[in-house]
Amino acid sequence: MKQIIYAISDSSGETATIFSRSMIAQFPMLEVEQKRFSFINSAQTLQEIFTQAKKDHAIIFYTLNNPEYDQIVKKLTQEHQVLAFDILNPYLKRIEAFTHQQASHEIGAARKLSAQYFDRIKAIDFAAENDDGKNPKSMLEADVVLLGISRTSKTPLSFFLANKQIKVMNLPLVPSVQLPKELWQVDPKKIVGLTTNEDVLQQIRQQRMIAYGLKPTTNYSDTSKIQAELKYADDLYQKLGCLVINVANRSIEETAAIIENRLNLNSI
């Protein structure tokens, strides 16, 4: 049996098309022909589509943000006695009732979300390419530059923020390694210095050594070395005049929230 499916929308029609395919996929015996009618901008166009739909014995799936067009389609559905599914407004009305918020009925809102998705991917790629100070020149492109000695959550924090479309570069601080000149060209308001408590850091580093199959008491977890590293970082943060956050006993989510609030970053 052949069945014609119409996907109608005053936007691209992608949502109606995908939804209709999902429904019809449950009927494997049907031979399906799908037609998409996108960017509907007149009542006359809707009239012509429904007239043809009746001839085709088509099943219609539609998403119409324009309230006027939505009412026209409901009227045409009755007049032409066709099977039509509104796959947008019934759900919006129920969400409105549940949240006590009004839907925007913005045309192309899904495409806007898609744009946000790709911005998020770009931010994640940026974080990966600039993890551990790989490309110092990228500091000038970053929304946030994270500084911190080893085991202060720089990398996980970078990727957490990247998932919120924030471009982050992180730079490990090692007293014996010269800082890149680009650091002094970055707006201090974009720089975040991460620090922690001595005892917390020592425990984390000892656990790290154990995970590698090594003894927990190494130079890496030595108290005097940790003290020297923390002082080096604190002195640098004072010179930079940047935001300083102690990450000891603080979750990644909490640290990220502080950064977003203090630096006025917009998360999604």
Look at residue 123 and tell me whether its pLDDT is greater than 80. Answer: yes
Domain that holds residue 228: 120-262
Average pLDDT over residues 103-109: 70
Is 54 annotated in a binding site? The answer is: no
Given pLDDT bands bounded at 50, 70 and 90, which one contains residue 112? low
Residues 219 and 175 in one domain: yes
Is 155 annotated in a binding site? The answer is: yes
Q: Per residue in 189-238, pLDDT tens?
A: 999 999 999 999 999 999 988 988 888 888 888 999 999 999 999 999 99
Per the model's pLDDT, the better-predicted residue between 171 and 110 turns out to be: 171
> From CA 77, how far away is CA 100, in angstroms rounded?
30
Last residue of a domain, one of 79, 107, 135: 107
The contacts of residue 46 (CB under 8 Å, 6+ apart) are: 8, 40, 69, 72, 73, 76
Q: Is residue 268 one of the residues assigned to a domain? A: no
Is 154 annotated in a binding site? The answer is: yes
Residues 128 and 246 in one domain: yes
Q: Is residue 112 one of the residues assigned to a domain? A: no
Is 55 annotated in a binding site? The answer is: no
Is 152 annotated in a binding site? The answer is: yes
Helix 109-129 to helix 154-162 angle (10° resolution) is 160
Per the model's pLDDT, the better-predicted residue between 55 and 14 turns out to be: 55
Is 148 annotated in a binding site? The answer is: yes
Q: Per residue in 45-65, pLDDT tens?
A: 999 999 999 999 999 999 998
Given pLDDT bands bounded at 50, 70 and 90, which one contains residue 264? confident
Global pTM reads 0.60
Average pLDDT over residues 128-143: 94
Q: Is residue 223 one of the residues assigned to a domain? A: yes
Q: What is the DSSP string of 178-206?
A: PPPGGGGGS-GGGEEEEE--HHHHHHHHH
Look at residue 17 and tell me whether its pLDDT is greater than 60. Answer: yes
CATH number of the domain that 14 lies in?
3.40.50
